[in-house]
């Protein structure tokens, strides 16, 4: 039997006030369920972090400890003597293709992730025998950001496989981009070889060719980026060794950090 409206309201009020477990017909409410399904309802940032169980950023000391050293690459490698002479002459170049310009800018600044926040550490080494220069970077960027960069690198051999760029020092450059195979390290990885051929700034006026390898890998929340370049034949072993040893070192430092917390 249904109750009159006034009587029903009275019964509902008594049931709610007493917090009874009895179900009173006509007193059920759907407000909590509607709130949960509201399109604009977004979990708080702190709740999201708790749900994801995100690993803390590397500390500055951990990032420094995760860097490779000249001892990792062999006797010919030593501390850098400064920016290589070919950097301004060949990498500071422009092209009409926006995505290829993004590549040229990233190669020149050696910042594949742009000006993104997060802990990072960098070291640079010179190969005294071959005139090469290697730059090694460790950074905490988060899986999503690292994966976006890896996906972008993966598409460059198709979008920028070959294009023309212009530099103030070396004139017109023929730029070729191809994929390289990397050691199976980290959670994901991508490698490129970029060759830039153009007029040299030297007195003999011979053509010059810069070969530059770029290797990037995601290791959990962190990223490793290696750039290794020289005028001539680049040392592929140095690229692979830096990435492989660096990944092992970073993984070990992360594991030590977890045991200490």
Q: What is the DSSP string of 82-100?
A: SS-HHIIIIISEE-S-HHH
CA distance 246 to 39: 44
d(CA 144, CA 104): 23
CA–CA separation, 95 vs 233, rounded Å?
A: 25
Distance in angstroms (rounded) separating the CA atoms of residues 208 and 198: 6
Tokens linked to 46: 């702190």
Please say if the pLDDT value at position 64 is more than 80: yes
pLDDT of 207 reads: 56
What is the pLDDT of the chain when averaged over all its residues?
80
The answer to whether residue 87 scores a pLDDT higher than 60 is yes
Quick one: pLDDT at residue 47? Answer: 36
Render pLDDT for 163-175 as a digit per residue (tens, 0 to 9). 999 998 888 999 9
Task: Give, in degrees to the nearest 5, the angle at Cα 47 between 149 and 114.
Answer: 20
Please tell me the predicted confidence (pLDDT) of residue 197.
93
pLDDT tier at 176, thresholds 50, 70, 90: very high
> DSSP class of residue 25?
T
Reported for 154-159, long-range contacts at CB under 8 A and 24+ positions apart, including other chains, are 154/179, 154/190, 156/99, 156/103, 156/192, 157/192, 159/99, 159/100
Indicate if the pLDDT at residue 199 is higher than 80. no
Cα 96 from Cα 165, distance rounded (Å) = 8
What pLDDT score was predicted for residue 86?
A: 86
Which range has the worst mean pLDDT, 9-23, 174-188, 227-241? 9-23
Q: What residue ranges define each of the domains in the chain, with the CATH number in brackets?
A: 9-46 (no CATH), 57-260 (3.40.1000)
What would the mean pLDDT of 192-216 be, rounded to a whole number? 79
- Describe the crossing of helices 98-109 and 143-159 by its angle, rounded to 10 degrees: 120
pLDDT > 50? residue 8: no
Residue 213 pLDDT exceeds 90:
yes
Mean pLDDT of 70-77: 92
Residue 46: pLDDT above 80? no
For the ranges 28-32, 38-42, 215-219, the one whose mean pLDDT is highest: 215-219
Is residue 146 classed as helix, strand or coil in its secondary structure? helix
What pLDDT is attached to residue 128?
A: 87
Quote the pLDDT of residue 40: 36
Confidence of residue 37 (pLDDT cuts 50, 70, 90): very low
Residue 257 corresponds to which tokens in the numbers above? 């950090």
Nearest to 162 by CA among 180, 152, 176, 146: 176
Strand partners, 120: 139
Predicted pLDDT of residue 261: 60
191 strand-pairing partners: 215
Percent share of the chain, pLDDT over 90: 57
pLDDT exceeds cutoff 80 at 127:
yes
Evaluated on CA atoms 28, 31, 32, 34, the torsion sign reads positive
Cα 178 from Cα 196, distance rounded (Å): 12
The tokens 């034949």 sit on which residue?
A: 233
Q: Which residue has the tokens 């860097």?
A: 67
Across residues 81-88, what is the average pLDDT? 87
- pLDDT (mean) for 247-253: 96
Cβ(179)–Cβ(161) under 8 Å?
no
Average pLDDT over residues 106-129: 88
């Amino acid at each position: 039997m249904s109750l009159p409206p006034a009587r029903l309201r009275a019964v509902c009020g008594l049931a709610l006030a007493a917090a009874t477990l009895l179900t009173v017909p006509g007193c059920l409410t759907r407000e909590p369920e509607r709130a949960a399904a509201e399109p604009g309802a977004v979990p708080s940032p702190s709740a999201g972090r708790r749900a994801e169980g995100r690993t803390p950023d590397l500390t500055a000391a951990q990032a420094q400890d995760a860097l490779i050293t000249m001892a990792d690459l062999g006797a010919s490698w030593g501390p850098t003597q400064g920016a290589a002479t070919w950097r301004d002459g060949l990498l500071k170049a422009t092209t009409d293709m926006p995505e290829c310009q993004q590549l040229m800018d990233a190669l020149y600044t050696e910042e594949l992730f742009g000006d993104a926040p997060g802990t990072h550490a960098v070291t640079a080494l010179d190969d005294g025998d071959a005139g090469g220069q290697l730059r090694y970077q460790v950074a905490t960027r988060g899986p999503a950001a690292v994966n976006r960069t890896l996906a972008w690198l993966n598409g460059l051999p198709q979008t920028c496989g070959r294009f023309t760029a212009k530099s103030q020092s070396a004139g017109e450059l023929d730029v070729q981009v191809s994929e390289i195979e990397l050691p199976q390290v980290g959670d994901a990885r991508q490698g490129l070889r970029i060759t830039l051929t153009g007029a040299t700034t030297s007195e003999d006026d011979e053509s010059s060719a810069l070969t530059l390898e770029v290797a990037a890998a995601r290791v959990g929340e962190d990223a490793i980026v290696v750039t290794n370049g020289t005028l001539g034949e680049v040392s592929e072993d140095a690229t692979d060794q830096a990435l492989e040893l660096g990944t092992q070192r970073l993984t070990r430092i992360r594991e030590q950090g977890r045991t200490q917390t």
